[in-house]
Each structure stands twice: as C-alpha cells, then as structure tokens.
Amino acid sequence: MKKVITYGTFDLLHWGHIKLLERAKQLGDYLVVAISTDEFNLQKQKKAYHSYEHRKLILETIRYVDEVIPEKSWDQKVQDVIDHDIDVFVMGDDWEGKFDFLKEHCEVVYLPRTEGISTTKIKEEIAGL
Ligand code: C2G
C-alpha cells in the first residue's frame, strides 16, 4: 500500500483544498492529512474560523482522506513519515522547496496551487458583502 501525507490548516474548506487532496490521493492508495491544531496555527500566524475538531470532522468526511492526524509543530514531519510509513509527501507549490529535507525519507511532490480561490479571499469577499 502506497501511503501519502499532506499538511495544512484546511479552514473554510474550498475547492482548491479539494483539488489538492484529490491529486494527493491519486499519488497513492492511502492519504494521511496532518491538520494544524489551533495552537500551531498561532505559530503560523493563522487564525482559523473553524476549530481543529470541526476542521478534522469535515476533512474526515472527504472520500480522498483516509486518516487525519494533528499537526502540532514544524518539526514533526520526519517522525510522521517514519511512524506512518509514508511513501510520498505532498504540498501545494506555494511551499516549493521548503520540505526538500524529507527527500531522504520519502518522495517529495509539490503540486500547482489552484488559482482563484483561497481562504483569505473568501474571508475578504464575505467581509465586503
Ligand atoms: N492549496 C491549493 N490551492 C489553493 C489553496 C490551498 O492547492 N487555492 C493547498 C496548499 O498549497 C496546501 C493545502 O492546500 O498544500 C492546504 O492549504 P492551507 O490550509 O492554506 O495550508 P497551509 O497554511 O499552507 O499549511 O506544515 C505545512 C503547513 O501546515 C501548510
């Protein structure tokens, strides 16, 4: 079984997230999503609208997602890859090159971001309604 992992906040889930998860799943048979905790989001200077528990609940309903684990720090990726026996690490290409250190442990793939949608765009456009 080829296992894939990806990381993110996945707040206000939108079709850009879904297209990332769909493509990530196509790279293997089992997709693990490490979703940022509310505490880790503070370190990322992000304030998610939905709590970790609700973002986890939503992600677990997505057909491409097989398992959701917490992302608590920048430093857990190597151990996650080892502990979960991961073959492929995937991120959107806004992170291009940032996680190449994982190449010692697994394949590293950066996928093109979906243009025209983002959680920030959603928040800004709703605020302007
Ligand atoms: N994404 C995308 N297209 C968009 C928006 C997001 O492909 N229009 C991708 C991002 O590139 C990322 C994933 O969807 O791979 C999740 O996006 P975010 O929730 O914004 O994740 P981020 O805050 O970048 O967290 O340790 C890594 C971090 O946790 C990544």
Domain positions in the chain are 3-128
CATH second-level architecture of 3-128?
Answer: 3-Layer(aba) Sandwich (3.40)
Q: Which residues does the chain have with pLDDT short of 70?
A: none
* Closest residue by CA, ligand 1 atom 21: 8
**Ligand 1 atom closest to residue 71's alpha carbon, by position in its atom list:** 29
Q: Please give the model's pTM, rounded to 2 decimal places.
A: 0.97
pLDDT tens readout for residues 87-109: 999 999 999 999 999 999 999 99
Could you tell me if the CB of 114 is within 6 A of ligand 1? Answer: yes
Select from 101, 43, 33 the least CA-distant residue to 70. Answer: 33
Residue 87 pLDDT: 98
